[in-house]
Structure 1
């Protein structure tokens, strides 16, 4: 699978029910301004996943290539298992509301994404594929595929998605990629 395709699909599926998607829903219901929220999500994701992909690329050059395949495979398998654990949105600071929809979304989305499943997935994807720009583009598009409908449609979209089924399929994809990586290394 290409880096762009797998990055897009895996992050779009991993983001369903994730805390950043719950944050997007919260911000959409609070501000009721989809355009600045979507723009801020895009910029925050590009920045966050750009840093994550750069770290993955750095690790790719730092770690012995023989060990890197094993580490990437373990990362994919662990990511698959982690996805099965549903996220809950932690207490979100409400003091940021006076910043407006764009700045509040930009800051909160960037911060909440730190250490998140999709950021870790971006690091792992960047170590696995040598196409950093494709990984950043794919993970950003995946985030937007998962979050834009939530921002635009709000609560209706979140209530209608089969979250448990989506988690299982996504987990299976990551575990399958990890297994394939082990087999070819």
Structure 2
């Protein structure tokens, strides 16, 4: 799997139901779709450019074996984060004195700071020898995911319940995190006792993040809201 495809795939999965996708959908209720997508593109290039640079810097300082273990743990956390869900704050929808593209870019850039897609970009870049392809992949993935959310949100809400989208994305991350752990950890830890403990912790984490403290998805609520706004 090339760096581009890997980065694209993981970002598309991570962005489904993420707060930045929800923000893009909310903005689409106020501005033209092309303006929203352009603002998302500008913010993503800058934000993920910073993330890729940070990832390459960390990759030059930390041994690859350690990076792979940290990346595996990150994927697990991203999966649990996805199961928990995201919500957007009301203040992110306040009017701005700037034009539509700059308004979207600023809001999206701020929302993406510290978000799981930015952190995941750092993790992927730290493992890759092709930072430019990582940046191209993550940027393309963000545009695809947010384009799907804005344009195809109504179709998804009609045919695919929110919880299936969220749980599908979360389980994919947990699966790849587990696979990476299996390939990265020392052999002495691959015994039945540690494996059982690992899966107990994972199941407990899934329950806490995906059931106990899960946010109700805003995807369909925003889609309905945007539809009413556009019809008004």
TM over 0.5: same fold?
A: yes
CA contact (8 A) 1:40 1:105 kept: yes
Residue matched to 2:110: 111
Count of equivalent residues: 182
2:79 matches 1:80 = yes
The structure with the larger Rg is 2
Residues of 2 paired with 1:164 and 1:30: CA distance? Answer: 26
TM-superposed deviation, 1:157: 4.6
TM-superposed deviation, 1:37: 1.5
Which blocks of at least 5 consecutive residues in structure 2 are unaligned? 185-232
Residue matched to 1:23: 23
The within-5 A match list for 1:13-162 is 13-31=13-31, 33-91=32-90, 92-96=92-96, 98-152=97-151, 156-157=154-155, 159-160=157-158, 161-162=160-161
Instruction: Give the RMSD, CA atoms, in angstroms.
Output: 1.8
CA contact (8 A) 2:17 2:165 kept: no
Which region of structure 1 is more displaced relative to structure 2, 105-114 or 173-182?
A: 173-182
Residues of 2 paired with 1:165 and 1:74: CA distance? Answer: 23
**Structure 1 runs, 4 residues or longer, greater than 4 Å off:** none
CA spacing shift, 1:168–1:78, aligned 2, 3 Å:
same
Which blocks of at least 5 consecutive residues in structure 1 are unaligned? none
TM-score normalized by the length of structure 1: 0.89
TM-score normalized by the length of structure 2: 0.72
CA contact (8 A) 1:45 1:110 kept: yes
CA spacing shift, 1:70–1:136, aligned 2, 3 Å:
same
